[in-house]
Amino acid sequence: MPQQLAYVIITPYSLYKSRTGGILSRLISRTGLDLAAMRMFAPGAELVKEYAQTIVSAHDPQDRRIQELLQQYVLKNFLPDPKTGRRRRVMVMLFRGDDAVRKVRSVVGNLSPERRVGETIRDTYGDLVTDDDGQIRYFEPAVLAAPNIEEADAKLKLWARYSDKDGGVLENVIAFQPGETSQRTLVLIKPDNFRFATGRPGNVIDFFSRTGLFIVGIKVHRMSVAQAVEFYGPVREVLRTKLKDMVGAKARAALEKEFGFKIPAAEEKQLGDVLGISFGDNQFDNIVRFMSGHAPSELPEADWKKPGTEKCIALVYEGVNAVAKIRDVLGPTDPSKAPPGSIRREFGSTIMVNAAHASDSPENARREMGIINVGEDLFRSIIEETYGKL
């Protein structure tokens, strides 16, 4: 039986309230499915209206009143703002695996005014409030997900058709106060967060939500060797020179133990000069292997541009002073030196296996975003691999 695709749409309100991390944590840890793709959308009227028409369906076992509520909600909250014309942000997550649609829907849950527990995503983040006469006073579904395979297939094809036009790294979706200057910065949720199906990727995103910044781009990315070499290229020379003293001291200690005589300090420096470059290159290869799955020497150069075997999530955050705010929450490279409450202190273990990367300047953010290409439409590509050309 072929693996299914299932989707979850995070509503503009859930994005605004920075609930993305908590929602993602539950979906990964409780379904055990492969997080295949993520994409930001700023839906235009054409997509919203077409999507709304599909919500009320005879194939949906959910109460028709709820379906109609969802349809009205989408038409009101997904359309561009009628006052400003500014489009709203929507995030679509794509999951893949056996029985994916049922697993995702069971974690998402259904909508009912009688629910009073926090078992599902909608129990925790959604609301359906009625008055004593049963009239709806407030409604927020938090996320949208298909109830069955037929509905999932139809709606995935619909969103995929608009993916290039209405999706990617979003422009002009955040309103700033007069005089404010916005920045964009890149974040990578590193491969160490994906070793097992845990809530760690979402937990890391939750930490970043403290910055008050806005997600305007997101992508599940498998870094190629070529991308890793280019991305971390500036680090190579630093590793070759910065580690010379440490390499020289370790080499001196090892040789003194092996041969039983003292080595002068001048010779220690020479050992560092001789071995520092090779050691730095070895450390660089380890970084490339960690991020892509292979060191450059382990693959023929013709394969360097192929997607790697390691998964990460690439995000573009936008806001005032975005670079500094993200770096402050992330913490220093060495987790042992990171302050309590920072991401690297909470989730990192070594200088390399340290949970996340963030650009250290606006210039590097632009360079790194160009390498990672967060706007690449893998969402549509995966859907077309499953259903054929749309």
DSSP 36-52: EEEEEE---HHHHHHHH
Token pair 């070499």 is at which residue? Answer: 229
- Quickly list H helices, the chain: 12-16, 20-31, 45-55, 64-77, 100-108, 121-125, 149-161, 163-166, 200-208, 225-231, 233-242, 244-259, 265-292, 322-330, 343-347, 362-372, 378-387
Q: What's the rounded Cα separation, in Å, for the pair 311 and 190?
A: 7
Q: What's the rounded Cα separation, in Å, for the pair 53 and 69?
A: 12
Structure tokens at 219: 């992508």
Structure confidence at residue 115 (pLDDT): 62
Structure confidence at residue 16 (pLDDT): 96
Average pLDDT value for residue range 154-158: 96
Quick: pLDDT tens for 95-134: 999 999 999 999 999 887 676 667 899 999 998 887 877 7
Is pLDDT of 180 > 80?
A: yes
Between 217 and 255, the higher pLDDT residue: 217
Is pLDDT of 6 > 70?
A: yes
Structure confidence at residue 383 (pLDDT): 97
Structure tokens at 17: 């309230």
Q: Which domains does the chain have, with CATH numbers?
A: 1-168+375-390 (3.30.70.141), 228-303 (no CATH)
Structure confidence at residue 271 (pLDDT): 81
Is pLDDT of 15 > 90?
A: yes
Average pLDDT value for residue range 306-325: 97
- Quickly list H helices, 162-216: 163-166, 200-208
Name, in order, each residue with C-beta under 8 angstroms of 279's C-beta and a sequence gap of 6 or more: 239, 243, 247
Buried b (16+ CB within 10 A) or exposed e, 225-235: bbbbbebbeee
Structure confidence at residue 42 (pLDDT): 98
Name, in order, each residue with C-beta under 8 angstroms of 15's C-beta and a sequence gap of 6 or more: 89, 90, 91, 214, 215
Structure confidence at residue 311 (pLDDT): 97
Average pLDDT value for residue range 168-172: 97
When mean pLDDT is compared over 68-72, 106-110, 156-160, 332-336, the highest value belongs to: 156-160
Quick: pLDDT tens for 189-216: 999 999 999 999 999 999 999 999 999 9
Quick: pLDDT tens for 212-253: 999 999 999 999 999 999 999 999 888 888 878 887 788 788
**Would you give the DSSP letter of residue 167?**
B
Structure tokens at 12: 């503009």
Confidence label for 300 from pLDDT (cuts 50, 70 and 90) = very high
Q: What's the rounded Cα separation, in Å, for the pair 275 and 292?
A: 26
107: phi then psi, degrees, rounded to nearest 5? -80, -35
Structure confidence at residue 276 (pLDDT): 78
Q: Measured between alpha carbons, how far is residue 114 from residues 70, 82, 128, 139, 372 in Å?
A: 17, 33, 9, 13, 45
Is pLDDT of 258 > 70?
A: yes
**Would you give the DSSP letter of residue 374?**
T
Confidence label for 136 from pLDDT (cuts 50, 70 and 90) = confident
Structure confidence at residue 108 (pLDDT): 96
C-alpha closest to that of 205 among 312, 50, 321: 312
Q: How many CA atoms lie within 13 A of 124 on its CB side?
A: 14
Q: Tell me the longest C-alpha to C-alpha distance in the chain.
A: 92
Which is it for strands 136-140 and 143-144: parallel, antiparallel or unpaired?
unpaired
Average pLDDT value for residue range 7-13: 98
Is pLDDT of 2 > 70?
A: no
Euclidean distance between the first and final Cα of the chain, in Å?
A: 22
309 touches 222 (CB < 8 A): yes
